Structure 1
Amino acid sequence: MFHFAKPPRAVHTTWLHCSASDNPKHDDVSVIDAWHKARGWSGVGYHFFIKKDGTVQTGRPIEKIGAHVAGHNTGSIGICLHGLKEDRFTEAQFDSLRTLCGQINAAYGLQMRFRGHCEVAAKACPVFDYRKVLGLDDKGYIIEPVATREPVPLTAIPDTVNHDTANYPELDVGDRGEAVARLQELLNRAGAFMGIDLKVDGIFGGQTAEAVKELKQEYDLYPSPVVVAHVWRTLIAAEAARAA
């Protein structure tokens, strides 16, 4: 599963595009990169490219300003889906688009604006109904940003450290429920010295994701937002140590 990493530059808008080709030979970001270099650009202008099978490929480094919407590249992220005709885009592509945009939205406190290239240029790009696919309001904000996955129950989490990994639920951006609330409590306690002070609302959004990454770095763990068994054990052990 692809995981979005928030860049250090300021971003306020994510622009959506299509590649204007249904040719299977063009279904790869390397092809777009070659096209853009042929125009004299330094490389592909989009930050992400979504293939017909739903694979999310990275293009221009996310920390660099893209080249995909004239006059609007600064402060933006560019996503391109391979395709030309509306009925030939796939559900796999749309599922990946929703997941990627959900991660981006969460990373920016559910305040990211999503727009189509057609809104500022005289072209039908993207040709699919991106507002419907992402569930956007009339200003381009996701109406229901919380994932529709079933809430993770608190009963799945042990109160003390053990090595039975089957009892530790995996959590990620977009999850919700009592398990996320318990995670937020543990993050607040373990990260108090780092200034972590999360709202315990049971919603795994951008602030919770950043707190997870900060704590994982502190304990020399891989700094992704995903919470797996050893992360739970680390947080619960830290809580037990403070209480001793």
Structure 2
Amino acid sequence: MRKIDLIVIHCTATREDKSLSPAELDRMHRQRGFNGCGYHYYVRRDGEICSMRPVGQAGAHAKGHNANSIGIAYEGGLDAGGNPADTRTEEQKRSIRVLVRVLCEDYRIRKVVGHRDLSPDRDGDGVVEPEEWIKLCPCYDVESDLAEQKCRGRCRLFG
């Protein structure tokens, strides 16, 4: 089993008025040259958690971080006009929190971040600020959203 200590949260950049099935997500990733969906888990708008890639297999979701991470994506991330927005439903929020909690308990997770938080710290101040983000994914602040998340002492979130 590979060493896993990081969870990376993503959005699929799907408009809130459109649906993206797990099969369509898999097909999109295969068209990009991946050997299946790059995320390990996919959370649908109704809160359904879909297993997309075995956790024992490295993902294809965060360049430079795939070897030691688990990728979770949620359906959405764009408003009806195609602009980046936090479009998560209450069901998605709940499912993401539960999934993160379970993964923290099952693995020695040290950190949970949004994909945008893995952007380079261009000014070298130790903080990846909004003007340094390469992309907006996942369209919300993961650290603030999961701040109350506890892993029963087995992991330390957010650094």
Please give the TM-score of this superposition, normalised by the length of structure 2. 0.76
Identity %: 31
* Residue 25 (structure 1) aligns with: 19
* Residue 139 (structure 2) aligns with: 127
Alpha carbons 1:13, 1:112 under 8 Å: kept: yes
Deviation of the 1:17 alpha carbon: 0.3
1:50-105 Cα distance to aligned partner (Å, 9 max, x none): 00000000111111000000111001100001112334210100100000000111
* Residue 115 (structure 2) aligns with: 117
Q: Which amino acid aligns with 1:130?
A: V
**What SS class does the counterpart of residue 94 from structure 1 fall into?**
helix
Cα distance in 2 between the residues matched to 1:54 and 1:25 = 13
Deviation of the 1:130 alpha carbon: 1.7
Residue number among 42, 48, 58 corresponding to 2:35 in the alignment: 42
* Residue 75 (structure 2) aligns with: 82
Residue number among 47, 67, 89 corresponding to 1:54 in the alignment: 47
Worse-superposed segment, 78-87 or 60-69: 78-87
Cα distance in 2 between the residues matched to 1:93 and 1:59 = 16
* Residue 98 (structure 2) aligns with: 99
* Residue 215 (structure 1) aligns with: none
1:113-141 Cα distance to aligned partner (Å, 9 max, x none): 101110123000100222222116xxxxx
Alpha carbons 1:104, 1:112 under 8 Å: kept: no
Alpha carbons 2:40, 2:70 under 8 Å: kept: yes
Q: How does 1:1-244 map to 2 (within 5 A)?
A: 8-22=1-15, 23-26=17-20, 28-85=21-78, 86-108=85-107, 111-121=109-119, 122-135=134-147, 142=149, 144-146=150-152
RMSD: 2.1
Alpha carbons 1:29, 1:58 under 8 Å: kept: no
Instruction: Give the 4+ runs in structure 1 shifted more than 4 A.
Output: none
Q: Alpha carbons of 1:10 and 1:19: their partners in 2 closer, same or farther (altered >3 Å)?
A: same
Q: Which amino acid aligns with 1:33?
A: D
Alpha carbons 1:15, 1:114 under 8 Å: kept: yes
Cα distance in 1 between the residues matched to 2:67 and 2:86 = 32
Give 1 or 2: higher helix fraction: 1
Q: Which has the higher contact order (CA 8 A, sep 6+)?
A: 2
Cα distance in 1 between the residues matched to 2:74 and 2:26 = 14
Cα distance in 2 between the residues matched to 1:79 and 1:59 = 9
Q: Alpha carbons of 1:119 and 1:129: their partners in 2 closer, same or farther (altered >3 Å)?
A: closer
The answer for unaligned runs of 5 or more in structure 2 is: 79-84, 120-133
Please give the TM-score of this superposition, normalised by the length of structure 1. 0.51
Query: Number of residues paired by the alignment?
Result: 134
Deviation of the 1:112 alpha carbon: 3.1
Structure number with bigger Rg? 1
